[in-house]
Amino acid sequence: MSGDKLWDLDRQDLKAAIRTIPDYPKPGILFRDITTLLGDARAFRSAIDALVQPWCGAKIDKVAGMEARGFILGGAVAHQLSAGFAPIRKKGKLPHTKVSIAYSLEYGLDEMEIHSDAVVPGEKVILVDDLIATGGTALGAASLLKKIGADVVAACFVIDLPDLGGADKLRAAGVPVRTLMSFDGH
């Protein structure tokens, strides 16, 4: 990215806009809350601009966002790229013909769904969410997109928790990963 020094300052500003909540949802977890970033107009715009930057001028057909913060970020990214938006929802939330996939969580399995016609086979899609931790949800979403014929160009996240290995798992599955910042620990 050009202007690395400026970008480093922006990253520090973005990181400062994230609220950390200790011991949520359970003891020992440091929850990285992006609602403070979303509520700060300058930080929100900077985050969206940074997520969009690598694909400006590229032909991206759709942006897929995972429920729920991925809807907020993904919708803004789709708007900036003049792309469509495809929501990926928890099981039982979509009203039309859907395709589902089971995915691993830290303590079990869950399912997510997408409308079967959300992506035309061969369309270039970017997957967006707020955070990547263990990678189970993101791997499931990428697999779901591929299942309906999407060309998953990349997965983009505001936050990476590299100690949990999710971004590396996604890369190993052939999906390029872009993150704006990382936090040590979990």
Q: Are 18 and 33 a contacting pair, CB within 8 Å? A: yes
Is 111 marked active-site?
no
What span, in angstroms and rounded, lies between the C-alpha atoms of 125 and 160?
20
Q: Which of 69, 89, 113, 123 is catalytic?
A: 69
Q: How would you classify the pairing of strands 62-66 and 124-132?
A: parallel
Q: How would you classify the pairing of strands 30-33 and 19-22?
A: antiparallel
Is 106 marked active-site?
yes
What span, in angstroms and rounded, lies between the C-alpha atoms of 136 and 165?
10
| CA-closest candidate to residue 32, choices 177, 154, 137, 129 | 129
The sheet carrying 177-182 orders its strands as: 98-105, 108-115, 84-90, 62-66, 124-132, 151-160, 177-182
Active site residues: 69, 106
